[in-house]
Chain A
Amino acid sequence: DIQVTQSPSSLSASVGDRVTISCRTSQTIGTYLNWYQQKPGKAPNLLIFAASNLPSGVPSKFSGSGSGTDFTLTISSLQPEDSATYYCQQCYSAPYSFGQGTKLEIK
């Protein structure tokens, strides 16, 4: 099974800042990686698929990069509504594992 590790587990940033969240997989997966945003009490929402592709409706302040085993989610121009937990997920092979999540707090 592919293990997925995110860092940091939590971070705090100010309105207007740019933050990056990292995701590492235990084996190379090309660009078979997705990112999700989850707000408290809600289901997750797809942010990025195939490492760097934005679904329609997702603001361009979200961007993803990386391939192989190392991936990054970048969120620019932070706003209070970006406060959430962010998860990466490998879709290279079953079981389709998630990272442990990164909780983002907006100061």
Chain B
Amino acid sequence: QVTLRESGPPLVKPTQTLTLTCTFSGFSLNTKRMCVSWIRQSPGRALEWLARIDWDDDKDYSTSLKTRLTISKDTSKNQVVLTMTNMDPLDTGTYYCARTSIYASNGYYLSYFDYWGQGTLVTVSS
């Protein structure tokens, strides 16, 4: 059974650094074609993809946020950590981590978010 759970502070002040941890079970980030992504959703807004880390430690980031984001993994603890610097009230929202599986067929590789955590609400306010 695959589960993911986000944890982190519910409230951060502007300019502070946010650190979120995704703790997962039921799969391993040592397994080929397994990845974990972070996605956020501001209140009443659409989903926004933030970052992804792959089984081979490859990383990708949102273009607009890449200078503020760092993603890392600890496979021994089954955890993925996302840090976001210089937090702003516009960063308020629910942050999700999601298992990202890569579907392979005839040389065609595609990723999708097949399991999600419940999300953690982060409010940025002084």
Binding site for B on A (CB under 8 A): 1, 31-32, 34, 36, 38, 43-46, 49-50, 53, 55, 87, 89, 91, 94-101
Subset of 28 A-B contacts with CB under 8 Å: A31-B110, A34-B113, A36-B47, A36-B113, A43-B116, A43-B117, A43-B119, A44-B47, A44-B96, A44-B113, A45-B116, A50-B108, A50-B110, A55-B114, A87-B47, A89-B49, A91-B111, A94-B52, A94-B61, A95-B49, A96-B52, A96-B111, A97-B49, A98-B39, A98-B46, A98-B49, A99-B46, A100-B46
Complex Cα spacing A28 to B117, Å: 31
Total interface residues on B, using CB and 8 Å? 24
Shortest distance between the CB of A20 and any CB in chain B (Å)? 20
Are B113 and A94 in contact, with the CB atoms below 8 A? no
Residues from chain A with a CB closer than 8 A to the CB of B98 are 43
Number of A-B contacts (CB under 8 A): 63
Bound complex: CA A1 to CA B103 (Å): 22
Are A98 and B48 neighbours in the complex by a CB distance under 8 Å?
A: yes
CB of A87 within 8 A of CB of B46, answer yes
Q: Please name the 6 residue pairs, one residue from A and one from B, whose CB atoms are nearest each other, closest first.
A: A94-B60, A43-B116, A49-B112, A98-B47, A100-B46, A96-B49
Q: Which residues of A contact B49 (CB under 8 A)?
A: 89, 95-98
Contact A96 B46 (CB under 8 A): no
Main secondary structure of the interface of B (DSSP, over half): strand
Chain B residue numbers with a CB within 8 Å of A101 are 46-47
CA–CA, A50 and B37, complex, Å: 18
A100-B48 Cα distance, complex, nearest whole Å: 9
Contacts of A55 in B (CB 8 A): 114
Cβ–Cβ < 8 Å partners of A36 in chain B = 47, 113
Interface residues of B in 70-111 (CB under 8 A from A): 96, 98, 103, 108, 110-111
Q: Decide yes or no whether B118 CB sits under 8 A from chain A.
A: yes
Instruction: Indicate whether B16 reaches chain A with its CB closer than 8 angstroms.
Output: no
Q: Cα distance A95–B49 when bound, in Å?
A: 7
Query: Closest approach, in angstroms, between the C-beta of B49 and any C-beta of chain A?
Result: 5
